[in-house]
Structure 1
Amino acid sequence: MTTVTPRQTDATAGIRPDLKELIALRGQARRLDLAPRGRVLATRSGGHLSRFRGRGMEFDESRVYQPGDDPRNMDWRVTARAGTPHVKLFREERERPVWLLVDQGMSMRFGTRVAFKSVIAAQAAALLGWAAVDRGDRVGGLVFDETRYLERRPAARGAGLLPLLDRLTAPLSTAPGEPGGVGHSSIVAAAEHLTRLIRPGSLVAVISDFADIRIDHSGWLAQLGAGSELLLILVHDAIESEVPPPGRYPVADGARQASLAEARTGILDLTSARLRDAYLGHFQRRWEILQRLARRDRAHLLRLTTHEPVGPALARGLGARSGAGMAGGSR
């Protein structure tokens, strides 16, 4: 049973998502276009049109009656207008499993403006989840950090989504071994876990900063996208993609010191040109790797930043999808 937590205070705003706010994002989710871009392979009855003609809930077109057609499908209006018998054709509706893989690990608990990357990831997951629910999809997924994870198989009408949203709003646990596992150390480890569960015909959305992405250890992406539509959403802070003025910057995650690029001791040292170049190159290499992998695995690639509203950015990025392998999106 999902428990609604008390509304967050100003002290935690932007640091931890609020469950009521994630649920309220359902209104914005109606603007998102989650229509499948490829052939739908799922076989349950639901809200997506397959390419198989048959008796279903979605009207396709009318055509002239042919011997053997079911009289129950007669289109009497067209018949009266055309003067010749016509029947209705339908496209069978298919339901699609939607998997949300949401990174809440250490590197995600960082942000310089408005919110942590982990909060932006939670909002993106809520928006995608509600958009899928409203289309009649079954939604599930995996939310993880380094101490625990929560896995839910896709279920209809929000039954799989709400526990994930509840987990996204929970405080970080420092005790391993809680129900649901002992956590995953990286997006790679979590994704490799998920590859054993996903079936062809799914939509898989991976929401992360992809801090440890590597070309030579990326087979998990191909596995996630095998027979399914793959959506990669990079969440980053502006300070990661645009080097700040020279200086030494303290870095924290709201409770403890955290590492970011050169900030191994909690201080981000950008006093020299060498350190500034190395810092900027770190993010650029990550983005280039993601673009390359998206092209290779025919994935859709979007970017979200911590200081921009998530709903409009997602709507723009999803609306811009013009085919498999697009490596662009919102900034």
Structure 2
Amino acid sequence: MKPDLDMNSRITITLPQLIALREQLEASVRRPALSRARLSGSYRSQQRGRGMEFAEVRSYQNGDDIRTIDWRVTARTGKPHTKLFQEERERPVLVALDYRRPMFFATRGCFKAVQASHLAALIGWQAHKNGDRLGAFLFSEERHVELRPQSGKRGVLRLLQQMVNAPAWQRPAHQPFAPQQRLFNTLIRLRRVARPGSFVTLISDFSQWDHQVEEQLILLARHCSLRLIFCYDPLEASLPQNGCYPISDGHDQGLLNSDDHSFRHHYQQRFTDHLDVLSQFCQQQRASLLLCATTDQPMDCLRGTGHGRDNGGRS
């Protein structure tokens, strides 16, 4: 099944379009060459955190871990009680999706936000196929949406509906980017949402990446498996052919001169440096990194067979 290539599908998303990606996922799995392949950066690896859920409370017995003592019941009854946990059969899968203004950009293919939405939908359908619970964290200048992990098809459809209804798609055109809060503030909230043992995928162009962002992600990676998907437009990687091109930030206008070889090299080096920072971070934290250009097929990116490469330390 080929994706819809009309102009509207490149700048926005629809519920039928995201639902149809389930068929694309199923079709790719049935292909002999891919039937044994797993999505790149698959989370069937060593889990972080306890990966346990509460079962019941009983009287404390010799040998019980004192960290599991239920102090409320103990205080109420006057006798020590401990919490019992059981291993989670369904692993929480959390998709964190960036809908900030820089994601609504592309010179080729589709908007980064559209590409990110397709990736999130595919991850959701894959979680459903694996029998895992799906949660989400959608963030933009307008609002943050937190979806608790839920199993079954209903959990996927809930995410798709929230993506389609996100107010970011209704922004006025050509409005300058003036973020209300920086990326690291959003990640503080993400850490509060992600349960220990979850598999967290953060889909973004990672603008505003800095040491504070790294600190929050390091704390997140201590208790969760982490995967970053870097969405970018080819123009962000390298300048077009020699010439002068009109540009605007929604307020001011100017000309971009790509004839200057020194400027072209500096421009491309900035992208390379940004990518190197992401790669080194993921290697150090044993996280996965996938690249997805606006011209790539999302399924290929998730399988690590697109133009972007997998730079993760864990597979």
- TM-score normalised by length of structure 1: 0.68
Q: Are residue 97 (structure 1) and residue 89 (structure 2) matched?
A: no
Query: Which position in structure 1 is the counterpart of 2:51?
Result: 42
Out of 146, 150, 169, the residue aligned to residue 155 of structure 1 is 150
Q: Are residue 234 (structure 1) and residue 222 (structure 2) matched?
A: no
Query: Which position in structure 2 is the counterpart of 1:84?
Result: none
One-letter amino acid matched to 2:45:
R
One-letter amino acid matched to 2:297:
P
d(CA) in 2 for partners of 1:38, 1:226: 12
Of residues 276-285 and 287-296 in structure 1, the stretch that sits farther from structure 2 once superposed is: 276-285
One-letter amino acid matched to 1:290:
L
How far 1:118 moved relative to its partner? 0.7
Query: Which position in structure 1 is the counterpart of 2:239?
Result: 243
d(CA) in 1 for partners of 2:88, 2:273: 42
One-letter amino acid matched to 1:164:
L
Query: Which position in structure 2 is the counterpart of 1:25?
Result: 21
d(CA) in 1 for partners of 2:301, 2:266: 29
d(CA) in 2 for partners of 1:301, 1:322: 6
How far 1:269 moved relative to its partner? 4.2
SS of equivalent residue, structure 2 residue 192: coil
Of residues 309-318 and 135-144 in structure 1, the stretch that sits farther from structure 2 once superposed is: 309-318
**Percent of aligned pairs with the same amino acid:** 32
One-letter amino acid matched to 1:109:
F
Deviations 1:158-212 (A, max 9, x none): 434323322322353459xxxxxxx964443322211012121100000001122
Q: How does 1:49-64 map to 2 (within 5 A)?
A: none
Greater fraction helix = 2
Bigger Cα Rg: 1
SS of equivalent residue, structure 1 residue 14: helix
Equivalent pair of 1:42/1:94 in contact (CA under 8 Å): no
How far 1:265 moved relative to its partner? 3.5
How far 1:241 moved relative to its partner? 1.5
One-letter amino acid matched to 1:143:
L
One-letter amino acid matched to 1:278:
H
How far 1:274 moved relative to its partner? 3.4
SS of equivalent residue, structure 1 residue 245: coil
d(CA) in 1 for partners of 2:258, 2:180: 31
Equivalent pair of 1:126/1:165 in contact (CA under 8 Å): yes
Query: Which position in structure 1 is the counterpart of 2:123?
Result: 128
Query: Which position in structure 1 is the counterpart of 2:108?
Result: 113
SS of equivalent residue, structure 1 residue 140: strand
SS of equivalent residue, structure 2 residue 280: helix
Equivalent pair of 2:279/2:312 in contact (CA under 8 Å): no
What is the aligned residue count? 258
Query: Which position in structure 2 is the counterpart of 1:290?
Result: 278
SS of equivalent residue, structure 1 residue 195: helix
SS of equivalent residue, structure 1 residue 316: coil
One-letter amino acid matched to 1:110:
F
How far 1:22 moved relative to its partner? 0.8
d(CA) in 1 for partners of 2:107, 2:184: 26
